[in-house]
Structure 1
Amino acid sequence: MEAFDEEVDVLIVGSGAAALTAAIVAADNRAKVALIEKGDQFGGTSATSGGVIWIPASHLAKAAGADDSPEEAASYITALAGDDAEPERISAFVENAPRMLAYMQERTEVRYASIPYTDYHAELPGGKMGWRSHDPQPIDGRRLGADLARLRPTHPAGMLFGRISWTAAEAAPMITRMPGWQKMLSRALWRHYSDVGQRLRSTRSRFLTSGNALLARLKLSLDDRQVEIRYRHALISLIERNGRVQGAVVQTPAGTRRIAARQAVILAAGGFERDTDMRRRYLTGSANPEWSGSQNGNTGDAIRAAQAVGGATRRMDSAWWAPTIKVPGEDRARPLFFERSLPGSLIVDAKGRRFLNEAASYHKAGEAMRDAGGGQAWVILDARFKWRYPMGPLMPMIPSWMHPKAVRRILRKASSIRKLAVQIGVSPDVLEKSVARFNHHASRGEDPDFSRGQQPYDRYYGDPKVSPNPNLLPLEKAPFYALPVNAGDIGTNGGLATDGNGRVVDDMGSPIEGLYAVGNSAASVTGRSYPGAGSTIGPAMTFGYIAARHATGAN
């Protein structure tokens, strides 16, 4: 029997929020931890995201005056998940999520604030109009020292003008131009450009917000526990003996090594959305990896390794869907998280027909695009919208010719809807009819076709100055513009089947001893649904906490 090159208690694969949470908790439970990352940067998809976590019934929400309970959250998730609901895992999540957040706030650098961000389906039983989503608190990147360069940057779609850090509390007022937005904009610009020393070296901000703030705080907490991230260490396979996973084969800069894990291997390496073969096999309505807004390291390595030792999978055709715009030359697509809600735009399919509620959550909108066949769609806007609001890479109050060449390559512009139809390759009659019908009803604040603006979430990113419906204005002012939109995602949410402790299970539902999966390496606890902002990272960190405690005997 081949010997191991090294022995640890817990081997963790990945370096996102789930991985670092698990590493911190395992180290607190006196485990010797090895954490491996196949790339040169840490943070995974979590670092590129908004960093918001969805945590029901937290102590922070209670302090803000929110009325919530684990039971209400369980009812809400169950209603959303439907036939995919897994009672054991749902119960584990809603009971442990507030405990995880309290633990991290008390024992680590992690800091969050509960915010009045409505659940995506607050109209359902157990849904709430706010306070389950939590925004990470900013941090000075200088505290990371040399590790700041190792931190995977925020996605451009999550930054002001694609490069300036802002918080969730600043984003919505600025986007919708609520009272005080000019002062917020001035503050954000001053914060960025007054850091002269950093501006001379880099366009990157040292004022860290969103996922960068969360991962910076997690990394500092990991450093406090003297746990290192081993870069350029790629998982090759798992080592299974006598029905138990006992370690892994890892490709390192020094060659192949066999690392024994006395207590557990925890897979937290993301999903498979950037793997061409897996995407074509499972995500048939959205087969192009370039449509994904996720970072390019998510190629399903951990999932395949677990399958090779008998790990079962669930809902591999599911993802965290989002309409995306692919700008040539960029390494990932730009998700349209909020812009679709703003008044004065609409989305049409390859034939020029409107087919969805544009103001629905990005998950529902992306899902609708996938269900429509995943073909080319177009977002259409008029000159009034373009001046007032952003749309993907298109910035407001900036003439088209001042945008980067790559953006101008995909932007279409015409003096009429009919001429725009010719440019985007759809029937002028069909597009003109679609826009005319939309305009007729939008002028009254109505959408009889798709009920845009009828649900609480729709209105969260609407313009409150527009009435009677903050999500609707007719497209009337020339010139008219179009950008190509794809059925994309921000990650897959189907993956390895796990139990309430985060253990990977086989096809019979029996746990594979010594093997855990969390984050997007595991099938989501919320099924195919997206309950609210932070529904990816909140459960990821929670099950990282659960898995580490269970593996080290703390449960």
Structure 2
Amino acid sequence: MERRAFFKLIGISAAVAAGGTAYACSSGHGMLSLVPTAEDSSAYRIANDPQVSFSSEVDVLIVGSGIAGLSAAMAPAEAGHSVMVVDKLDLLGGESFSSNGIMRVSGSAFQKAAGIDTTAIEAWDARKQELADEGVPDIEFAKRLFVTAPDWIDHLVDTYQVELADPRAYVKGGGLSTVLLPKNGLGDMESFMVPLRNGLANKGVAFSTGLQAVAFIQDGGGAICGMRLLAVKNQAVSDIRAKRVVVATGGFASSQPLIHAYVPNQEQVASYTFASMGEGQMLCSGVGGKLAGMDKAGPLTGRVPQSCAWGMFAPAVIVDLAGKRFAREDDVNAAADACHADDRGHWWTIFDKQLIESSQSRSVAQVTAKYVKRLVGPCDTLDDLAKAMFMPAEALKAAFEEYDKTVESGKDEAFGRTLFLQKLIAPYYAFRQSPVRYKTRGGANTDGEGRLLNATGSPVSGVYCCGSVGASSLEGLASNGAFGMLVGQAVAKVLAEEEGSDVSSASA
């Protein structure tokens, strides 16, 4: 007979500041305790909210349905464990669904089938240098994610029938062989995530949207045994019991108070995201998890992220309002970061028919049709283009003269561009962009299996983290997907060990 259960809620330490609901309580982490002292567990309340009453029970509860959360669901579901994925948004996919779709992967079977034989280990040195330049602290874990990414992508292709673009379409023109894209190119996350979601559903994974996690549920022994969820529309409370809880709620780029507290130099920048409120970080902190690295500024992107990647697939020239080239065009973050750092306001990406007819023609057509007010052109001369962009023609011509010399020399001494270093030919087009936040760094400390760690480095019982909520997360879909897959495998393994132990005990 199961002993009498004692439960209490451990809520968000900065719930109101982060945009969540005020379920803050806890035990000695600088938060106000709202839990009354009582011998009977039925007396435990949070601001007069109902006592814990489980409406359902699962083996694994995953909070967040982005690529990290969905990837974390794979291994437990495939092992036959009951899995529930919840998201506060009405649509599954989180903010991964609106990403540009670029995945940094090397060595997958999919790439090898396309004649691209570079392995993850062979590509690691270059990637390692990029991450070091970005200030990534845990290079060893970054390497683990990078070498796991090809297994992750192959598993998606083989098990969930996820379709990818043929890399030969852009590699043959000079594009990176270390990048994969969804079936229809930049921004086509529907064709990537829908098969994964449907495949998980076919394996028994339950999905619920419009539910926000507001408090961990802790049993009498101090172990996390579930999560309290709040319906966004009607504020109805649901308590879900779970053997393991995986937090995959993303970063905090949408939270102005948290940005102000941790990254104040970006608080004047608009946010591309609207749901990355940092609830996961605050929940983990409230239950004893240690946060780290949240004061490291994350990279910026443009208000239309797809167009920030155009220079990776065709020639383009980036100039500021004065007509001056100021950043490399084959880096998705370079223009936005430099634009913000130098208070340039916004910038223009200039392109020609080479981009329009490139492997990313679909992206160009969709973006320019949707954001027609940001587009100028076609313009037959640089004089006409400068006039349409409201800048001095001589300045724009000087920028093109400088750029053409770079093309002729074959080396971009000023900014280090290496991809598609080719001249543009009239007619010209230009697309206007401005910098926005979309990614934060830092978060909950985890071990190599994604277990949440406290201040002493010990695991917090029952809680795992993956993706951008974790302090060791990196930019990109592939790294977050690999992170989620590793966590899912770790959770499936420990559940199998516990079931084996239960069977052995019963037999004895």
TM superposition score normalised by structure 2: 0.70
Q: Does 1:336 align with 2:305?
A: no
Instruction: State the alpha-carbon separation in 2 of the partners of residues 61 and 210 from structure 1.
Output: 19
* Residue 361 in structure 1 maps to residue 331 in structure 2: yes
Could you say which residue in structure 2 is the equivalent of 1:222?
200
2-structure distance, mates of 1:302, 1:521: 6
User: Match for 1:521 among 469, 481, 484?
Assistant: 469
Deviation at 1:495, TM superposition (A): 2.9
Deviation (angstroms), 1:362: 0.5
Q: Which residue of 2 aligns with 1:271?
A: 251
Q: Is the 8 A contact 2:145 2:483 kept in 1?
A: no
| Change in CA separation of 1:224 and 1:277 when aligned onto 2, cut-off 3 Å | same
Matched, 1:3 2:52: yes
Could you tell me which residue of structure 2 aligns to residue 543 of structure 1? 486
Change (3 A) 1:221 1:446: closer
C-alpha distance in structure 1 between counterparts of 2:125 and 2:169, whole Å: 19
- Does residue 324 of structure 1 match 2:279? no
Q: Residue in 2 aligned with 1:257?
A: 237
Instruction: State the aligned residue count.
Output: 441
Structure-1 residue corresponding to 2:495: 552
Q: How does 1:468-479 map to 2 (within 5 A)?
A: 469-470=421-422, 472-473=423-424
Give how far 1:373 is off. Answer: 3.6
Whole-angstrom distance in 2 between the partners of 1:230 and 1:520: 21
Deviations 1:187-230 (A, max 9, x none): xxxxxxxxxxxxxxxxxxxxxx9421222212222221232211
Tell me by how many angstroms 1:299 deviates: 2.3
CA–CA distance in 2 between the matches of 1:18 and 1:270? 9
Give the alignment of 1:361-380 within 5 angstroms. Answer: 361-370=331-340, 372-373=341-342, 375-379=344-348
Task: Give the direction of change, closer, same or farther, for the CA distance of 1:395–1:311 in structure 2 (3 Å limit).
Answer: same
Tell me what 1:450 maps to.
Answer: 415
Query: What amino acid sits opposite 2:87 in the alignment?
Result: E
User: In the alignment, is the contact (CA less than 8 A) between 2:339 and 2:347 conserved in 1?
Assistant: no
Tell me the residue number matched to 2:145: 93
Measure the CA separation in 2 of the matches of 1:112 and 1:483. Answer: 27
- Equivalent residue for 1:145? none
CA distances 1:300-329 after superposition (whole Å, capped 9, x unpaired): 222222222232334435577454146xxx
Mark the CA change 1:427 to 1:287 in structure 2 (over 3 Å): closer, same or farther: farther
Residue 212 of structure 2 is matched in structure 1 by: 234
Higher Cα Rg, which structure: 2
Tell me, in whole angstroms, the C-alpha distance in 2 between the residues paired with 1:335 and 1:427: 24
Contact 1:303 1:495 in 2 (8 A): yes
Q: For 1:247, which of 215, 226, 233 is the aligned residue?
A: 226
Give the distance between the partners of 1:334 and 1:111, measured in 2 at CA. 19
Matched, 1:305 2:304: no
Structure 2 matches for 1:391-430, cutoff 5 A?
407-408=372-373
Contact 1:54–1:537 (Cα < 8 Å) also in 2: no
> What letter corresponds to residue 245 of structure 1 in structure 2?
I
State the distance in 2 between where 1:336 and 1:245 align.
Answer: 42
| Structure 1: distance between partners of 2:97 and 2:351 | 34
1:42 aligns to 2:92 (yes or no): yes
Aligned residues of 1:322 and 1:335 also touching (Cα < 8 A): no
Structure 2, gaps ≥5 residues long: 1-40, 42-50, 499-508
Matches of 2:213 and 2:382, distance apart in 1? 52
Q: Which amino acid counterpart does residue 345 of structure 2 have in structure 1? A: Q
1:461-500 aligned at under 5 Å gives the runs 469-470=421-422, 472-473=423-424, 483-488=431-436, 490-500=438-448
Deviation at 1:240, TM superposition (A): 4.2
Q: Give the Cα–Cα distance (whole angstroms) in 1 for the partners of residues 333 and 348 of structure 2.
A: 17
**1:337 to partner: Cα distance:** 1.2
C-alpha distance in 2 between matches for 1:220 and 1:290? 34
**Letter of the structure 2 residue corresponding to residue 38 of structure 1:** K
**Aligned with 1:504 (options 448, 452, 461):** 452
Structure 1 counterpart of 2:130: 80
C-alpha distance in structure 1 between counterparts of 2:300 and 2:257, whole Å: 21
Query: Partner letter of residue 30 of structure 1?
Result: G
Could you tell me which amino acid in structure 2 is paired with residue 248 of structure 1?
M
Query: What is the CA–CA distance in structure 2 between the aligned matches of 1:91 and 1:308, rounded to whole Å?
Result: 30
Distance 1:297 1:314 in 2: 21
1:354 counterpart letter in structure 2: R
2:77 to 8, 27, 35: 27
RMSD: 4.4
3-state DSSP class of the match of 1:271? coil
Partner of 1:58: 108
Task: Report the 3-state secondary structure (helix = DSSP H, G, I; strand = E; otherwise coil) of the residue aligned with 2:288.
Answer: coil
Find the residue that maps to 1:79 and give its secondary structure: helix
Q: Sequence identity, in percent?
A: 22
Any idea what SS the aligned residue of 1:362 has?
Answer: coil
1:159 is aligned to none
Cα displacement (A) at 1:42 = 0.9
Contact (CA 8 Å) 1:340, 1:346: kept in 2 or not?
no
Q: What is the distance in 2 between the residues matched to 1:446 and 1:97?
A: 31
Give SS of 1:552's match: helix
Does residue 1:212 correspond to 2:193, yes or no?
Answer: no
TM-score w.r.t. structure 1 length? Answer: 0.64
Displacement of 1:233 after TM fit? 0.8
Residues 32 and 545 of structure 1, relative CA distance in 2, 3 Å threshold? closer
Q: State whether residues 243 and 512 of structure 1, in contact with CA within 8 Å, keep that contact through their aligned partners in structure 2.
A: no
Any conservation in 1 of the 2:170–2:313 contact (CA below 8 Å)?
A: no
What displacement does 1:239 show? 3.1
How many Å apart are 1:236 and its aligned residue? 1.3
Please tell me whether the aligned partners of residues 503 and 517 of structure 1 are also in contact (alpha carbons under 8 angstroms): yes
* Closer, same or farther: CA 441–26 of 1 in aligned 2, 3 Å: closer
Deviation at 1:516, TM superposition (A): 1.3
Alignment correspondent of 1:466: none
Distance in 2 (CA, whole Å) between partners of 1:96 and 1:71 is 11
Pairwise CA distance, 1:75: 4.5
Provide, for residues 169-204 of structure 1, a one-character-per-residue CA deviation record: whole Å limited to 9, x for no partner: xx7xxxxxxxxxxxxxxxxxxxxxxxxxxxxxxxxx
The residue number in structure 1 matching 2:167 is: 115
Q: Deviations over 1:37-90 (max 9, x none)?
A: 112111122333355544443343455555455544555554333363425524
1:347 maps onto 2:318 in alignment: yes
Q: State the Cα distance separating 1:5 from its structure 2 match.
A: 2.1
| Residue identity matched to 2:443 | G
Instruction: Answer yes or no: is the 8 Å Cα contact 1:59–1:98 preserved in 2.
Output: yes
